[in-house]
């Protein structure tokens, strides 16, 4: 299997677009992005804080002092992003859901229907453009409340 990778700096961010293609075997042109790096909207849509929201604001933890508060503003501009993907011929989008956007307090609170609606709209818009979503729930960020209660994945209560 031969993979071809294409990297391009996305508009309005320093995040790089990574397109991975195994065109000879699967005809997939996949865009891979991580929620914390692109989504932003840290305090919108009833989102709870994640461990990365907290960590990225601690002095000296991130070399350039950046954080994910706005990031690439995907939460507000996902339709533009989908149109960009479509124009590049992307037919698969691998993204992660912000756990603290759909369950702001981890297992200690209610489901955030505003967050569910955002991801439902995102997935529907992708499908309308012929882009297959591949979704991951956890990619290094967890609701801060789970970090506070259990110390994250090191605790057997989280495993």
**Mind listing the pLDDT tens digit for each residue in 136-153?**
887 788 999 999 999 888
pLDDT tens per residue across span 40-50: 999 999 999 99
CA 60 → CA 22, 40, 65, 67, distances in Å?
40, 21, 7, 12
Q: Read off the tokens for 34.
A: 């991580």
Helices (H), 99-143: 99-102, 113-128
Tell me which residue of 7, 16, 3, 35 sits closest to 142, measured CA to CA.
Answer: 35
Confidence of residue 5 (pLDDT cuts 50, 70, 90): very low
Q: Read off the tokens for 150.
A: 């259990």
Q: Could you tell me the pTM of the whole model?
A: 0.82
Q: Which CATH class is domain 4-154?
A: alpha beta
How many whole angstroms separate alpha carbon 101 and alpha carbon 142? 10
């Amino acid at each position: 299997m031969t993979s071809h990778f294409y990297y391009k700096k996305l508009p309005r961010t320093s995040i790089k677009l990574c397109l991975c293609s195994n065109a000879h075997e699967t005809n997939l042109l996949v865009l891979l992005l991580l929620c914390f790096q692109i989504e932003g909207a840290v305090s919108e849509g009833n989102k709870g804080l994640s461990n990365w929201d907290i960590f990225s604001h601690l002095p000296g933890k991130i070399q350039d002092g950046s954080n994910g508060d706005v990031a690439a503003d995907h939460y507000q501009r996902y339709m533009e992003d989908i149109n960009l993907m479509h124009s590049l011929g992307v037919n698969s989008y691998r993204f992660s859901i912000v756990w603290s956007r759909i369950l702001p307090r981890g297992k200690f609170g209610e489901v955030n229907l505003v967050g569910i609606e955002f991801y439902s709209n995102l997935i529907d818009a992708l499908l309308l453009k012929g882009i297959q979503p591949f979704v991951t729930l956890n990619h290094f960020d967890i609701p801060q409340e789970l970090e506070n209660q259990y110390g994250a994945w090191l605790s057997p209560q989280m495993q």
